[in-house]
Amino acid sequence: MQCATNFVFLFAGFHGSFRYAAGLSGDVDETQGVCKDDSSAASCTDEISLMQLNVQMKGREKLHKFHQHARQEEERQKLEAGTHQRFKLPKAMEERCAPRFQNLTEHLAKEFVRGYDQRGKVASDDDDEINNVTHIGAKWRQAVKEAGLKLEDISLFGHVIPKFTAAEVTRLTEMSRKGKKYSYNFFGSACDRSRGGTIFNIVGGLPPQSKRYRRTWAMNFAKYNFSAKDFLKVTDAKECVKYSHRFPIGTFDRTLSPEDPEEGYFNVLAASNFTLCPGGDEPWSMRVYEAVGAGSLPVILSQDHDLSAKARGDLFGIAIQAVQDLFHVGFTHNATHNQQMVEENRRTFIKYHTFMEGDNVPPGLDLDAVRNYVLHPSREISTSNRAKKEKLCVDYHRTGMNEIKPGLGKTLQDSSFQVARVSEKPLIVGAGIGSTGTRSVKQALEMLGETVWHCQEKNGCNVPAVTNIMAPSYMGNLFSKKKKREMSPQETESCLKQLSTFDYTDIPKNVTAILDTPVAEVFLYMWRSFPNARVILTQRKASEWVSSRISEHNYSAFIPIQNPCGQFMEYPASSKLSRHQLEELFDLHTGFVKCMVPEKQLFDIGDLADMKDDQKENLMSNLAKFLGMSPPERVIKMDFPHVSGPNE
């Protein structure tokens, strides 16, 4: 692309010379009768002028085509880069499953850019790419080679779906014929708090905790239903908050047992009638087709949470879903073992997850037809995709709240989130909870020329009316331990209803930004009211935030959830949350904002209090770019402000 840019520059520099633009070396004397741009045809009568006019026009046409080609090349590279992202293998799958996937980001993405139906030669059987088997795509390429297929003839589905080699299938079959030792098994991570929850494209990033929520049911099922004839091995016990100090949880639990070759992953699957297959880093698990290949019946709790690969919204997810829909699965409430279903599953696995029977495509699946839909969604599709993503974000946020404290997610269940009015105004919305640096952000925005409402200042903003809804006067003085009472269920219901009918767009035209409590607490309503909002997210270490909030705000601070009607950090005492619960809720809010807001509309500042000087160096400049500004250089070079206050 750099070369193309340089060429464009050279052509632009010589735009006045038709001879150079045409690529000539001086065969025509351009001083004799050259027609100007405003010349009429009648003024260009002599032969030399006509020749020169012809060369001039061809040169300009050639120049125009070059510029057009340069623009197309730029678009092509953008498309290819976007395609790379759409076919990027989920990080959590790289080590265990990368060998069974083609390295799509190496050359398949380029094939889509060139046009799938008019692609050139990719590779042949004797290419180094087939013979030099590397980790990424090694099994996939081996499966291609042993089936005698040519890469350029493989279907789009065959490129996208993970493939097993014939040797692996033979090994799995032999293992399953040894007989069943276990009824149920679950072998894998249970509640890893690492940054899981990775769904791309349509869905976007989900909160990190979503991975743990999907797997919770498997641990609960094992705890209450497993017996000595079952098998459990948790591979992330040290990181597992709920269970790290409770292993073993039964005679079936091999988590802390010494390594046994006979109890390897595939050995256990092959020796089990049923395999629990909760959604993993995404709302599906590779364990589904691995269990099927090993002759074990997959068991799930919910289709939406455990078997919805299509939710990714890309060709990979659509391909996986097409095969998953053909598998027989059991559910926790009625898992019945049936050898016929096991054998049908195995045949489906061989047909679509190997090349042993050729390059087969599930009936009715036409990935070529949906390719453009995936890469170039229409405005209507994009709107629909955004709605799907937001629903998932809300669902996972509610699930997270309920896991931290049963029933806490009721504040989301009782709200329809249909707002009173929608504004196209690109309002700047501070999604960070109070005491995360909102005053510093306010000053930074004012330095960039914005008119900011900070809700805890004397001039206030329209959202304190929301505070009065969530903390009405009849509850008593918020800043005192006395004369305070809880909201009744009826009052809570009324509070939630008022929040859903409040007009959040009632903001003066000159106000361009709004920050601080209770903006974050009603962020979902703010986001729905201002779909074009530019969102700024401030963060802080959860433990420090809890300490600061309790010490500086005493009884007046809301707990960090959406729509906290009558719920405060230190009150009511009967339902007071622990510090650990408050920390988890604070982190949950951060994940929720990141899940809801598209990347181009989100500026994640991070933790200002813990930020080093070199990290702050370009913060003002980056903030200005995010807001689409070109402020004076003196402003850009200013340090990002640090303002201390009662909310910071």
Residues 61 and 144 both lie in one domain: no
Distance of CA 478 to the CA centre of its chain: 39
User: Which string of b and e fits 4-18 if b means at least 16 CB within 10 Å?
Assistant: eeeebeebeeeeeeb
End of a domain among 83, 100, 116? 83
Report helix, strand or coil for 64: helix
Report helix, strand or coil for 429: strand
Can you give the three-state secondary structure of 518-535, one letter per residue?
A: CCHHHHHHHHHHCCCCEE
**Which of 437, 435, 433 lies closest to 608, judged by CA?**
437
Per residue in 369-407, pLDDT (tens digit) is: 887 777 677 888 778 878 877 887 888 788 888 888 888
End of a domain among 105, 129, 160? 160
In a domain, 397, yes or no: no
Per residue in 425-446, pLDDT (tens digit) is: 999 999 999 889 899 999 999 9
The values of phi and psi at residue 274, to 5°, are -130, 145
Evaluate if residue 582 carries a pLDDT over 70: yes
Q: What are the DSSP calls for 65-80, one per residue?
A: HHHHHHHHHHHHHHHH
Evaluate if residue 589 carries a pLDDT over 90: yes
Residues 430 and 322 both lie in one domain: no
Contacts of 491 (CB under 8 A, 6+ apart): 472, 565, 566
Where do we find the tokens 């599906």? 284
| Mean pLDDT (whole number) for 460-465 | 62
Bridge partners of 330? 299
Domain that holds residue 15: 2-83
Number of DSSP helices (H) and strands (E) in the chain, helices first: 27, 10
Residues 423 and 563 both lie in one domain: yes
3-state DSSP percent of the chain in helix, strand and coil, to 5 = 50, 10, 45
Contacts of 127 (CB under 8 A, 6+ apart): none
Report helix, strand or coil for 392: helix
| Mean pLDDT (whole number) for 98-127 | 47
Evaluate if residue 35 carries a pLDDT over 50: no
Report residue 104's pLDDT band, with 50, 70 and 90 as the boundaries: low
In a domain, 382, yes or no: no
Residues 193 and 293 both lie in one domain: yes
Residues 563 and 416 both lie in one domain: yes
The residue type at 39: S
Evaluate if residue 177 carries a pLDDT over 80: yes
In a domain, 355, yes or no: yes
Distance of CA 517 to the CA centre of its chain: 27
Residues 285 and 428 both lie in one domain: no
User: Which string of b and e fits 98-115 if b means at least 16 CB within 10 Å?
Assistant: bbbbbbbbeebbbbbbee
End of a domain among 21, 49, 83? 83
Cis, bond preceding 278 (omega within 30 deg of 0)? no
In a domain, 645, yes or no: no
In a domain, 21, yes or no: yes
Report residue 326's pLDDT band, with 50, 70 and 90 as the boundaries: very high
Residues 193 and 122 both lie in one domain: no
**Helical axes 339-353 vs 315-324, angle rounded to 10°:** 150
In a domain, 604, yes or no: yes
Residues 132 and 213 both lie in one domain: no
Supply angle C-alpha 73, 77, 82, rounded to 5: 145
Where do we find the tokens 């939710």? 311
The residue type at 418: Q
Q: What torsion do the CA atoms of 14, 20, 21, 25 make, to the nearest 10 degrees?
A: -170
**Alpha-carbon distances of 283 from 224, 311, 567, rounded to whole Å:** 23, 8, 32
| Mean pLDDT (whole number) for 49-53 | 44
Report helix, strand or coil for 573: helix
Q: How many domains does the chain have?
A: 4
Sheet holding 452-454, edge to edge: 452-454, 513-515, 428-430, 534-539, 602-607
CB of 561 within 8 A of CB of 567?
Answer: yes
Q: CA 356 to CA 140: how far, in whole Å?
A: 12
CATH of residue 614's domain is: 3.40.50
Q: CA 137 to CA 157: how far, in whole Å?
A: 15
CB of 603 within 8 A of CB of 222?
Answer: no
Report residue 53's pLDDT band, with 50, 70 and 90 as the boundaries: very low
| Mean pLDDT (whole number) for 339-353 | 96
Q: CA 7 to CA 25: how far, in whole Å?
A: 18
So what's the pLDDT on residue 102? 67
Report residue 5's pLDDT band, with 50, 70 and 90 as the boundaries: very low
Q: Which residue has the higher pLDDT, 410 or 550?
A: 410
**Alpha-carbon distances of 365 from 108, 385, 458, rounded to whole Å:** 19, 21, 61
Residues 430 and 364 both lie in one domain: no
So what's the pLDDT on residue 58? 53
Least confident of 176-185, 244-253, 312-321: 244-253
Contacts of 497 (CB under 8 A, 6+ apart): none
Contacts of 546 (CB under 8 A, 6+ apart): 569, 579, 582, 583, 586
- pTM of structure: 0.67
Report helix, strand or coil for 150: coil
In a domain, 642, yes or no: no
DSSP 355: S
In a domain, 646, yes or no: no
Q: Which residue has the higher pLDDT, 556 or 151?
A: 151
Contacts of 600 (CB under 8 A, 6+ apart): none
Evaluate if residue 119 carries a pLDDT over 50: no
Q: CA 619 to CA 638: how far, in whole Å?
A: 9
Residues 291 and 418 both lie in one domain: no
Q: Which residue has the higher pLDDT, 112 or 169?
A: 169
Contacts of 406 (CB under 8 A, 6+ apart): none
So what's the pLDDT on residue 73? 58
**Which of 581, 427, 446, 453 lies closest to 517, judged by CA?**
453
Residues 173 and 257 both lie in one domain: yes
| Mean pLDDT (whole number) for 144-171 | 90
Evaluate if residue 12 carries a pLDDT over 70: no
Cis, bond preceding 518 (omega within 30 deg of 0)? yes
DSSP 574: G
Residues 354 and 493 both lie in one domain: no
The residue type at 423: S
